[in-house]
Structure 1
Amino acid sequence: MLWKLLVQYLRPHRRLLIAVVIFQLAQSIASLYLPTLNADIIDEGVAKGDTGYILGTGSIMLLITLLQISCSVTAVYFGAKAAMGMGRDLRGAIFTRVGEFSEQEVTRFGAPSLITRSTNDVQQVQQLVLMSCTLMVAAPMLSIGGVIMAIRQDVQLSWLIAVSVPVLLVAVGLIVTRMVPLFRKMQVRIDTVNRVLREQLAGIRVVRAFVREGMETERFASANQDVTEMALRAGRLMALMFPVVMLVLNISSVAVIWFGSFRIDDGSMQVGTLIAFLSYLMQILMSVMMATFMAVMIPRASVSADRIGEVLATESSVTPPLNPVTSTAGRGELELLDVGFAYPGAEQPVLSGISFQARAGQTTAIIGSTGAGKTTLVNLLPRLFDASSGSVRIDGVDVRELHPDLLWGHIGLVPQKPYLFSGTVRSNLLYGKPDASEEELWQALAIAQAQDFVEQMDGGLDAPISQGGTNVSGGQRQRLAIARALVKQPELYIFDDSFSSLDTATDARLRQALKRHTSGATMVIIAQRVSSIADAEQILVLDDGRLVARGTHDELLETSETYREIVSSQLAAEEAA
């Protein structure tokens, strides 16, 4: 998977990579030529006392060194540019794919894991590319070129290269093979740390309300310790690698000097040649060491690439139609025909045999006990999930055949847990209709009973909203979410228990304003409070995933025992009568 990702996402940056190879090649040639010049200075200049030769050759070595530095800097620059570009493209690809996921895929991966994969995992692959451009490209050039140049200096000492290089490769290989599973476990444990931290930050009020700071501290400490232990185990192996490399390098150096001294003594080798051979051996072994440094990064990057590839290879269970319908009657009328839904692997379906119609200009309310399947039913309408059986239709067209933009353009959804984005009141209201006028924004706020508190906020429409809307109360957050849907002016409104944080008086005023403003639209309201839906033209009663009754409030009081139980649990006996 690592190789596949690199080939796919580095292809647009191939010109930069070609430039890296060219400059690294020039740098390598310069590095390979310098020991030979140094040997010439020793054997020809120093031995014969030729100062002119020493200065001339030394000047050439200085120019080559400057060229080497320039090529190295340029190669690193282009390599960094290619790595950063690949990281940007990879993060964009993950974001796009996650944006296509249904709730099912998001739940399967989990938000903390998806965040880790698009940040830490991408960074590991990006770092590998950067180090490859600066080290890995030069390593084979220097090692191969070093072998050739060393043999040119003295063939009889070349057996030292044939011994030291395989010994180094075997030693490093044994270490690296033990590091791969450790890195895989470490990435999973980083996911756990992110999950625990995310839960604690999101649920800080609950933690403090129940005085559980100590327990949460211990839970995070446990997850943090797991990551630390795994990192230490991998770090110990990594720490072992470089002493092994240096041991082989130093022993090889001693061997060259030992055996080379005998050849110098018998006159078959000069001192400069020995020093040049030693320099080439060091270049070869340093190249192998650079490769081993890359070998340390490859296992972790490979694990990260597998995790990234898993996200990119996952197809959404909600697939767009091949030949989408691009226009409808535009009334927003809703019809469900024998709809059923079951989560993958579940023994029992969440919904079974749901059939009803919601007409334009009417309010259809859905009520039921906790766990009856109300929110799951709502999620089927905008295709957050696809029905396992049956058909969900808008204006007579199955939602699976509608173009996604057309489908979502028809629907104004206010979820059970309203979410506001960081920015301002204005930016949140414009989310559904970017070209809405200021008059439309204030009108939506007035209908949602949010105008008064927005006017009192510092900045009005430009008042800041923190991530998730945490700087406003739960009721204000709900009303802003309702206003956001109203600005969009869709044909079908879906309110998923969207009035739960409102007091009774505000709830009543809001429902009256909604009825006047959305008289021509289809309204679907999920509610827990009977008072919020008592005036609906059609009330559907769900129980254990089945539609057990339908009718008006008065009709259901007479015909449905389940509805009467819900009403009696909320209202006094005289109100229920």
Structure 2
Amino acid sequence: MIRIFKYLKPREWLMAFISLFFVVAQVWLDLKSPDYMSKITMLVQTPGSAMSDIWIAGGKMLLCTLGSLISAIIVGFFAARIAATFSKQLRSLLFNKVEAFSMEEINRFSTDSLITRSTNDITQVQMLITMGLQLIIKAPITAVWAITKIAGKGFEWTLTTGAAVVILIVMIGFLMIFVIPKFKKMQTLTDNMNRVTRENLTGLRVVRAYNAEDYQEKRFEQANDELTATQLFTSRAMAIMMPVMSMIMSGLSLSIYWIGAYLINAAEMTDKLTMFSNMVVFSSYAMQVI
């Protein structure tokens, strides 16, 4: 996969670096919002605070959100542009490569396999580039940055967040063990589906001449059922991931506030407001980590 990135043109690399800049800006703005949330919480709970200070902090928080939205739109635009241009170039290179094959080389590959490589596989690469620039690069930056901001704000909260991350990693790893072999098998089943369909279309006159429609329908149904069953298995397995993540995030929020209630209750009167503010900010950063 990494080897094909050498076909990226300088213009596409430039757009990728610009996207990386806006990804970092988006992460910074996302992680800056909880700071203003903490400031607003302090101002609301502090007697004698001016309403103008609350409005200023709220306005800065809204500007951070707007800036994050604009950055996300720019990253999405460049990601789609890079992916579409790169996939177009890959299809052209693959087509020219197949055209240059000798008869001996062509016999090494099945036609249905070459069709899948030229269409479905390149589409998967296009999706990977689009998702990679928007999510795969952003996720570790967000996680590491958020961890550095919450470090030292509370041992109990940090331990709870670490436990949630471990549970999430174990759940995803356990899920991948069952799903990845099915994803690999789907390539072979797609090739088989293309082969059966192509044979039926190219030999349509022969099929009708020998009245073999029922036989061809059974072959197609078998190939279609195998591919459908595999796709349903992978889709259902991956569908479990979002509810699991939502459950872990909700459980983590509940744990942070539950632990925070005990800590605030046991703190000195002068420290209660600071502890409450830290709890609100920590909860936001913990969600970013997850």
Conservation of the 8 A alpha-carbon contact between 1:43 and 1:270: no
- Structure 2: distance between partners of 1:10 and 1:258: 50
- Structure 2: distance between partners of 1:23 and 1:86: 21
Question: 1:152, CA displacement in angstroms?
Answer: 5.4
Question: 1:185, CA displacement in angstroms?
Answer: 0.8
Aligned counterpart, 1:171: 171
Amino acid at match of 2:16: L
* Structure number having the greater helix percentage: 2
Aligned counterpart, 1:162: 162
**1:9–1:178 distance in 2 versus 1, CA, 3 Å:** farther
Question: 1:239, CA displacement in angstroms?
Answer: 2.1
Amino acid at match of 2:276: V
Conservation of the 8 A alpha-carbon contact between 1:153 and 1:276: no
Aligned counterpart, 2:275: 270
- Structure 2: distance between partners of 1:152 and 1:90: 48
Aligned counterpart, 1:34: 33
Question: 1:167, CA displacement in angstroms?
Answer: 2.0
Conservation of the 8 A alpha-carbon contact between 2:19 and 2:75: yes
Tell me the secondary structure at the aligned position of residue 207 of structure 2.
helix
1:306-325 alignment to 2 at 5 Å? none
Aligned counterpart, 1:110: 110
1:170-189 alignment to 2 at 5 Å? 170-189=170-189
Aligned counterpart, 1:10: 8
Is 1:282 aligned to 2:287, yes or no?
yes
Question: 1:229, CA displacement in angstroms?
Answer: 1.1
Question: 1:261, CA displacement in angstroms?
Answer: 1.0
Stretches of structure 1 lacking an aligned partner (at least 5 in a row):
286-577
Aligned counterpart, 2:140: 140
Amino acid at match of 1:148: T
- Structure 2: distance between partners of 1:83 and 1:170: 31
- Structure 1: distance between partners of 2:251 and 2:44: 30
- Structure 1: distance between partners of 2:252 and 2:69: 28
Conservation of the 8 A alpha-carbon contact between 1:26 and 1:71: yes
Conservation of the 8 A alpha-carbon contact between 1:30 and 1:64: yes
Aligned counterpart, 2:62: 62
Amino acid at match of 1:211: N
Question: How high is the sequence identity, in percent, across the aligned residues?
Answer: 31
| Cα-Cα RMSD | 1.7
- Structure 2: distance between partners of 1:101 and 1:35: 58
Amino acid at match of 1:274: M
Conservation of the 8 A alpha-carbon contact between 2:40 and 2:54: yes
CA distances 1:328-360 after superposition (whole Å, capped 9, x unpaired): xxxxxxxxxxxxxxxxxxxxxxxxxxxxxxxxx
Of structures 1 and 2, the one scoring higher in RCO (CA 8 A, sep 6+) is 2
Larger CA Rg, structure 1 vs 2: 1
Amino acid at match of 1:195: R
Q: Which moved more, 1:149-158 or 1:63-72?
A: 149-158
Question: 1:271, CA displacement in angstroms?
Answer: 2.4
Question: 1:25, CA displacement in angstroms?
Answer: 0.5
Aligned counterpart, 1:84: 84
Conservation of the 8 A alpha-carbon contact between 1:46 and 1:54: no
Question: 1:203, CA displacement in angstroms?
Answer: 1.6
Question: 1:241, CA displacement in angstroms?
Answer: 2.2
1:555-566 alignment to 2 at 5 Å? none
CA distances 1:281-303 after superposition (whole Å, capped 9, x unpaired): 01110xxxxxxxxxxxxxxxxxx
Amino acid at match of 1:14: W
- Structure 1: distance between partners of 2:74 and 2:232: 35
1:515-534 alignment to 2 at 5 Å? none
Aligned counterpart, 1:247: 247
Conservation of the 8 A alpha-carbon contact between 1:38 and 1:276: yes
Stretches of structure 2 lacking an aligned partner (at least 5 in a row):
none
- Structure 2: distance between partners of 1:37 and 1:152: 19
Conservation of the 8 A alpha-carbon contact between 1:146 and 1:280: yes
**TM, length-normalised to structure 2:** 0.92
1:468-483 alignment to 2 at 5 Å? none
Is 1:235 aligned to 2:238, yes or no?
no
CA distances 1:82-107 after superposition (whole Å, capped 9, x unpaired): 11122112212211211111122222
- Structure 1: distance between partners of 2:140 and 2:95: 36
Matched positions, count? 283
CA distances 1:228-250 after superposition (whole Å, capped 9, x unpaired): 11112222321222232223222
Amino acid at match of 2:118: S
Conservation of the 8 A alpha-carbon contact between 1:79 and 1:133: yes
Amino acid at match of 1:279: S
Question: 1:156, CA displacement in angstroms?
Answer: 4.5
